Each structure stands twice: as C-alpha cells, then as structure tokens.
Amino acid sequence: MRRQVKNRNIAKADDKYNSVKIGKFINHLMMDGKKSVAIRVVYDAFEIIKEKEKVENPLEVFETALKNISPMVEVRSRRVGGANYQVPREVRPERRLYLGMTWLLNAARSGKGKPMANRLADEIILASKGEGESVKKKENMHKMAEANKAFAHFAW
C-alpha cells in the first residue's frame, strides 16, 4: 500500500472571486508559465458568460459546469492471470476535479477559429446545461464503467 502524501501543494485562491477552484483552473490553463495570460483568458470568459447567460455571478455557472463534467467512476486497467481487465473504480474528489477541469480545457482548446476566452465561455455554458464535448466524455466514462461492472470484484 502506498504511503500518504505529506505536504501537498494547495493552489491559492484567485484575486477577483476568491475561489480556490478558479485558482486551480487558471493554473491548469496556464502554458509556458504565462499566468497573466491565463488569468486574462479566464476572467474574459467569465465576462462573456455574464453577458450571454445574464447572470450576476458567473462563478455559479462554472461550479455547475464542473459538477456536470466530473466523473463518479472510472475504469482502470488491471492484469489478472495473463488477461487485462477494465476494472471500474470510484474517483477520489481531487482526481474528479482534475479530470473535470482537464476535459473542459481540452474541449475548449479543440474548437478552432475563435479566441480562447470565447471557446472557454461557450464550453462552460454548454457544460452547465449538461451538453457539450466534456459532458459526453464523462458519459462515455460512466458507460465504460457500467459495461465492465462484472469485473468490479478485481478492484484492489
């Protein structure tokens, strides 16, 4: 069994909304250490969400989107007696958040032709309504886990 992680780095809350999740999301979005660019993209996306959805607080839309994207179960490969089985496992809360953010960013990055802030805003809005590429990814993950439920007894 693995030993516990002693001191895990905790992302700082962002300045505008004072939310740790947004601070983490900005760090996920950041490329090549350009944090100021990532911050600008996220805040611009939130302004677009504010305009399009006519909401006071875009943080609520973001939270709903993350909740709709984050998977409850995932499949992990396990080798038993010369055969590989896809074993369904419950996802830890930290990993759930990580997967949700990663899928959201991958979906936003895959869209071409518009500025990143617009693509990100569109994907967050779609995810909050239970639609979009990232929600499909979660549903596929759940389908895989359901299909391989028979191998759940191999979980370690």
CATH number of residue 131's parent domain: 1.10.455.10
Q: For 120-130, how does the pLDDT look when each residue is reduced to its tens digit (9 = 90+)?
A: 999 999 999 99
Residue 1 clears pLDDT 80, i.e. is over it: no
Q: Number of folded domains in the chain?
A: 1
Q: For 132-148, how does the pLDDT look when each residue is reduced to its tens digit (9 = 90+)?
A: 999 999 999 999 998 98
- Given pLDDT bands bounded at 50, 70 and 90, which one contains residue 119? very high
* Residue 76 belongs to a domain: yes
Q: State which residues form the domain around 70.
A: 20-154
CB atoms within 10 A of CB 99: 19
Q: What is the mean pLDDT of the chain?
A: 91
Q: Which two tokens stand for residue 84?
A: 């590989």
pTM to 2 decimals?
A: 0.88
Residue 138 has a pLDDT of 93
The residue with greater pLDDT, 78 or 102, is 102
* Residue 15 belongs to a domain: no
* Residue 144 belongs to a domain: yes
Residue 107 has a pLDDT of 93
* Residue 150 belongs to a domain: yes
Distance CA 46, CA 39 (A): 11
- Given pLDDT bands bounded at 50, 70 and 90, which one contains residue 155? confident
Distance CA 125, CA 132 (A): 9
* Residue 118 belongs to a domain: yes
Residue 103 clears pLDDT 80, i.e. is over it: yes
* Residue 55 belongs to a domain: yes
Q: For 74-99, how does the pLDDT look when each residue is reduced to its tens digit (9 = 90+)?
A: 999 888 889 888 888 999 999 999 99
* Residue 54 belongs to a domain: yes
* Residue 8 belongs to a domain: no
